Amino acid sequence: MDTNERDPSEHWQDVYRRKPADGVSWFAPRLHTSLGLLGRAGLGPASRVIDVGGGASTLVDDLLALGVADITVLDLSQAALDVARSRLGERAGAVRWLAGDVRTAALGEACFDLWHDRAVLHFLTDPADAAAYARQAARALAPGGRMVIGGFAPGGPERCSGLPVARRAPREVAALFGDGFVLLDSQYDLHRTPGGSDQAFAWALLSRER
């Protein structure tokens, strides 16, 4: 990830210290596309779910409301996680919160049934970083588990939060994970930022076959 050799966690800490959670470009009051694809992936109360880059996102609120009991939220920014924990109040105690880098975080083996990522993988522009992400996901996701990954589509923005991004079609996302994963479905949508601009997103629903 090209962050001009700066620790990426410092970048995201600064973002959430300078801006309110609903003022960043990726904010959405409810992640309808994510919830729809997670539902198609088999989301239920017994699902073990990780939200990669979940930060201050409201997805965790909806997962709790759906009765999901095993939720992990991973983000580089402790400040972003603190926003969500404060918003949830007592309910935050039902969630596992991890501040760290998805490529190196201490995740258990085959410990998740569902892996959700809205706009983390697209920051990994270096093939070595994307490969490290794929290895971590393959290790942490149980056989038969599903992944929902969204990021900027071809034709979408070239940068986000001052950083370059990789714009990938769903089949390009699937190719990063190799033969052990199958692309079950794909979707495109437009995200309207708080500033009123549209960003083209591409979504991949993947299944770990082995």
Confidence at residue 127, expressed as pLDDT on a 0 to 100 scale: 96
Confidence at residue 161, expressed as pLDDT on a 0 to 100 scale: 84
19 pLDDT more than 50? yes
Ordered structural domains, the chain, with CATH: 8-208 (3.40.50.150)
* HSE-CB of 1 using CA atoms within 13 angstroms: 24
Identify the CA nearest to 177 among candidates 129, 125, 123, 135. 135
Could you read off the pLDDT of 53-81 as tens digits, one per residue? Answer: 999 999 999 999 999 999 999 999 999 99
**What is the spatial distance between Cα 140 and Cα 71, in angstroms, rounded to a whole number?**
14
**What is the spatial distance between Cα 114 and Cα 187, in angstroms, rounded to a whole number?**
18
pLDDT, mean of residues 180-193: 96
Residue 30 in contact with residue 58, Cβ under 8 Å?
yes
Look at 15 and 88; give whichever has higher pLDDT: 88
12 pLDDT more than 70? no
Residue 56 in contact with residue 80, Cβ under 8 Å?
yes
Residue 73 in contact with residue 98, Cβ under 8 Å?
yes
- pTM above the 0.75 mark? yes
Residue 115, exposed/middle/buried by CB under 10 A (0-12, 13-18, 19+)? buried
Confidence at residue 25, expressed as pLDDT on a 0 to 100 scale: 75
Confidence at residue 6, expressed as pLDDT on a 0 to 100 scale: 59
Kindly report the CA angle at 130 between 198 and 82, in degrees rounded to 5?
Answer: 65
pLDDT, mean of residues 173-195: 95
Please provide the distance, in angstroms rounded to a whole number, between the alpha carbons at the two ends of the chain. 28
**Alpha-carbon separation of residue 41 from 50, 117, 209 (angstroms):** 13, 14, 14
**What is the spatial distance between Cα 180 and Cα 147, in angstroms, rounded to a whole number?**
12
Alpha helices per DSSP H over the chain: 8-18, 32-40, 59-65, 78-88, 127-140, 170-177
pLDDT, mean of residues 118-141: 96
